[in-house]
Amino acid sequence: MLESSDRHRIPADLISSGQVSRWNVPWILDDVRLLDPPVSYQHKSGAVTWVNLAPRTSAEIVAQLQSRGEATQAVSDPADDPNSGAGPDGGDVDGDVRPVVGLMTDGLVLGWTQLTAGNIRNNRIYLRQFIDRFPADSVGGSNRQHRAARTVQVDWGGETPVETDIDGDKKFFRSRSWVREFLAHNGAAEGDRVIVECTGPYRYRLRLRKTR
């Protein structure tokens, strides 16, 4: 730690005292880019290691980098995690969504959900574990009479994106007529993962990750 003080900037006396001896694994930051102007974000109380950025904040970061002609690459894709949150009874349970930690080529991964047989049979793509990452005004009530104030645009791979709000009670996209075609076109099977990316303000894209 003393030999690499020019990188971590921890004072030598603090290192010699042993107070920081337990923090001895370095994280090397590669391809760091300055945000100019800075993008503000909410740092919730108690967040020490990770801060989950709101979709709007993430979209501002992506937009700024793209406006400068800089590609945005992922440092981590939550769908690469081998663990899943599927229940032992095969019920409609979401995948174990990890914190948002990376920017994709032109979007940001909000989370993923693992498909069950019931999901495929009933044309459901649940957003339970990361619904709070969507704009609050796009999440409505349990029926069409209580739609959200705004809709989101979902690019699912069809000829035209879908305009829909989110059912905050059932926690999936309210419009579901396209889900059957999305699952069929991608050959979805039980255990596969649907990854949701934010590509801009109120704009999202779905992709399916095969697990077999």
User: Within 13 Å, how many C-alpha atoms sit on residue 78's CB side?
Assistant: 28
Tens-digit pLDDT profile for residues 106-117: 457 888 899 999
Q: Quote the CA–CA distance of 56 and 138 in Å, as a whole number.
A: 12
pTM: 0.55
Q: How confident is the model at residue 148 (pLDDT cuts 50, 70, 90)?
A: very high
Rounded mean pLDDT, 87-97: 36
Residue 77 has pLDDT above 50, yes or no: no
Tens-digit pLDDT profile for residues 164-208: 999 999 999 999 899 999 999 999 999 999 999 888 888 899 999
106 with 170: CB under 8 angstroms? no
pLDDT for residue 55: 78
Of the given ranges (22-36, 75-89, 173-187), which has the lowest mean pLDDT?
75-89
Domains identified in the chain, total number = 1
Q: Do the domain assignments include residue 186? A: yes
Angle at the Cα of 169 (from 199 to 107), degrees rounded to 5? 10
pLDDT for residue 169: 94
| Range of the structural domain that residue 183 is part of | 55-209
Q: Quote the CA–CA distance of 18 and 26 in Å, as a whole number.
A: 17
Q: Do the domain assignments include residue 49? A: no
User: Residue 84 is part of a domain; what is its CATH number?
Assistant: 2.40.330.10
Q: Do the domain assignments include residue 24? A: no
Q: Do the domain assignments include residue 198? A: yes
Q: Do the domain assignments include residue 188? A: yes
Q: Do the domain assignments include residue 46? A: no
Residue 105 has pLDDT above 70, yes or no: no
pLDDT for residue 107: 59
Q: Do the domain assignments include residue 10? A: no
Q: Do the domain assignments include residue 44? A: no
